Amino acid sequence: TQLLEQSPQFLSIQEGENLTVYCNSSSVFSSLQWYRQEPGEGPVLLVTVVTGGEVKKLKRLTFQFGDARKDSSLHITAAQPGDTGLYLCAGVSQGGKLIFGQGTELSVKP
Amino acid sequence: GAVVSQHPSRVICKSGTSVKIECRSLDFQATTMFWYRQFPKQSLMLMATSNEGSKATYEQGVEKDKFLINHASLTLSTLTVTSAHPEDSSFYICSARVQSTEAFFGQGTRLTVV
């Protein structure tokens, strides 16, 4: 069974601080995705990383895929209250299923 | 991006009744749809994979007779929660995928069983 361990599960920081969320697995995934979810809504895709060692940037968000394609990280620079939400990593298995991590509940206080 | 519409967004039903949730791909044909369940502040748990024209594949621990899935067309999958009980109260989310491309998520359905 493929599992994704996401950490931390809860994070409360002040506006302007930096943070990193980690997503680790003992399994190799063909690709890995990061989502952001607002309360009462479905997840919205932020990025898909496919190649081992890949780094993608989306404004203040930086995503990395580990060389072995087993882990990934999301780094947010100078967090803002608008970044508050549930961040989910999801590995794409060979069967095409999305295996989700436990999620990180981020709260950015002004 | 593609749009997946889920209906209803909220539903309250009495214990013992059945509730049907619809998931539609509005501007594309989805060969595969997925149904997830999510508890407050927790991640999405995959319940089943629905392929158009064939039986759904349920994840371990999910009762197929309780959570009936029908994927009768390339744009519609339905999840029926039969004989609902308060412990079935949850946020149900569908996603639709076209072959190997990314999956698009619906807005979710908040089910409350009273």
Q: pLDDT for A15-73, tens place per residue?
A: 999 999 999 998 888 889 999 999 889 999 999 999 999 999 999 999 999 999 999 99
Mean pLDDT computed over every residue of chain B = 91
CATH class name, domain A29-109: mainly beta
What confidence score (pLDDT) does residue A21 get? 98
| pLDDT above 70 (res B1) | no
Tell if the CB–CB gap between B49 and A97 is shorter than 8 Å.
yes
CA–CA distances in Å: residue B79 to residues B20, B33, B35:
6, 11, 8
pLDDT band at A98 (very low <50, low <70, confident <90, very high): confident
- B41 shares contact with chain A (CB less than 8 Å): yes
Q: Does A31 touch chain B (CB under 8 A)?
A: no
pLDDT confidence of residue A39? 87
Q: Do A98 and B42 touch (CB under 8 A)?
A: no
pLDDT above 70 for B101: no
Closest-CA distance of chain B to residue A77, Å = 24
Q: Measure CA B88 to chain center.
A: 13
Q: Is the minimum CB–CB distance between A105 and chain B shorter than 8 Å?
A: yes
Query: Coil, strand, or helix at residue A17?
Result: coil
pLDDT at B42: 85
> Please, where are the H alpha helices in chain A?
none
Q: What is the DSSP letter of B31?
A: S
Percentage of residues in chain B with pLDDT exceeding 90?
A: 70
Task: Examine the pLDDT at B114 and tell me if it is beyond 70.
Answer: yes
Contact indicator for B46, B34 with CB cutoff of 8 Å: yes
User: What φ, ψ does residue A21 adopt, rounded to 5°?
Assistant: -110, 135
Q: Which of B35, B44, B95, B104 to mutate to test the interface with A (most CBs of A within 10 A)?
A: B44
Measure the CA angle with vertex B91, ends B18 and A79; round to 5°: 170
Contact between chains at A98 and B34 (C-beta distance less than 8 A): yes
Give how far B44 is from chain A: nearest CA, Å.
6
* Per-residue DSSP letter, A81: G
DSSP B51-103: ETTS--EEPTT--TTTEEEEEEETTEEEEEE-S--GGG-EEEEEEEE-TTS-E
The average pLDDT across A83-109 equals 90
Peptide bond into A43 cis (omega under 30): no
* Of residues A104, A81, A101, A83, the one with CA closest to residue A21: A104
- Buried/exposed A55-66: b ≥16 CB within 10 Å, e otherwise: eeeeeebbbbbb
The rounded distance, in Å, linking the Cα atoms of A65 and A50 is 8
Model pLDDT, residue B99: 63
Top residue of A97, A99, A107 to mutate, by most chain B CBs within 10 Å, is A97
Given a cut of 90, is residue A9 above it in pLDDT? Answer: yes
Q: Residue written as tokens 């079935």?
A: B88
Candidates A42, A96, A101; nearest CB to B106: A42
Residues 50-89 of B with CB under 8 A from A: none
Q: Which residues 51-80 of chain A have a CB within 8 Å of chain B?
A: none
Compute the average pLDDT of residues B64-90: 94
